Copies of this chain bind each other. A is one copy, B any other.
Amino acid sequence: MNDRFLKACRREPVDCTPVWFMRQAGRYMQEYQAIRAQHSILEVCKTPELAAQVTLQPIDRFPLDAAIIFADILLPLEAMGLQLEFAEGEGPIIHNPVRDRASVDQLQPVDGDELAYVEAAIRQARRALTGKVPLIGFAGAPFTLASYAIEGGGSRNYILTKQFMYREPEAWHRLLDKLARVVTGYLRRQIRAGAEAVQLFDSWVGCLSPGDYAEYVLPHVQLIFDGLKREQVPLIHFGTGTGSLLRLMRQAGGDVIGLDWRVHLDDGWRTVGHDVAVQGNLDPVALFAPLHEIERRVEEILRRAAGRPGHIFNLGHGILPNTPVESVAATAEMVHKLSQR
């Protein structure tokens, strides 16, 4: 069993730096496109055989040190009663967005088998992996989920989300508390189904001021990490554009803090503290560069990590749709080669 990834999460020494990529199973791979030609995203997510199959596609092809279950962060919103659609080329749409206190109250708790298909996919993926690499589970964080729930989809300026936060603080906290409880239960069930680490994606939290993060978001994230502590698997806390939020994110929780490319890895690690592990932080667009340019950047990140135990190599965000497959393969190889102890 390749346990480099789990060791690095626990800040134990490893033979070389472990590497995986967010959205490593995705549109840039022909194997994935072949499945998606026949099934919608939601069908893949809800059919454990397909989700497990897609989860393994990058593992079969690249020298990666972890798999991540194929799913979508918005699945719990659907389970809570929101009507979710993935419109081709437009990203997710929620047809009944949350815009007032009443619609917060109507959101269902998720305490039964609403998301059992994710657990089943995890069990199947674990079996198919035959211990080759560990399997990561994940969920969206309350702020990021709330932004989709309120905006009704993706957003540029998060005007409706922040308006809700500023104008209806009580309903906002009630919404985030509901989301935090659903996410905690969902991640706990993923772990019990076999996820050997879990990552919380607060992808859009970087649109907030540190003051707003501390007041409107942090307590709810803390609830999740506190609730998962005794599960004894590494907890990864990820966001983008978080240069000025890192200290607060660390305070909210996580054994591993995600760093995006907007901070130097050593600066970011110093900010969150050397008593947690870090994950990152190549710009996903760097994978479109020539290989010698990618290598220069991989080298720099490893130099800034300075061989300190507790670095997991990753991108600063997910792999982009038209990324060259060869660059993904080459980058994973470079990380191993250049970090050999």
Contact = CB atoms under 8 A, between A and B. Distances in A.
A220 interface: no
A32 interface: no
A283 B244 contact: no
Interface in A114-173: 157-159, 162-163, 166-167
B163 A209 contact: no
Number of identical protomers: 2
A112 interface: no
Nearest to A300: B211
A285 B263 CA distance: 25
Nearest to A317: B157
A293 B209 CA distance: 14
A73 interface: no
A89 interface: no
A157 B211 contact: no
Residue among A209, A262, A263 having the largest count of chain B Cβ atoms under 10 Å: A209
Nearest to A164: B288
Which range holds the interface residue count of chain A? Answer: 35 or more
Contacts of A241: 206, 241, 262
Nearest to A206: B262
Nearest to A271: B244
Nearest to A260: B209
A231 to B, nearest CB: 32
Residue among A163, A206, A285, A293 having the largest count of chain B Cβ atoms under 10 Å: A285
A290 B320 contact: no
Contact of A262 (B157, B243, B322): B243
21 contacts: A157-B284, A157-B285, A159-B322, A162-B283, A162-B286, A163-B289, A166-B285, A166-B286, A166-B290, A167-B288, A167-B290, A167-B293, A206-B262, A209-B262, A209-B264, A210-B262, A211-B297, A212-B283, A241-B241, A243-B244, A244-B263
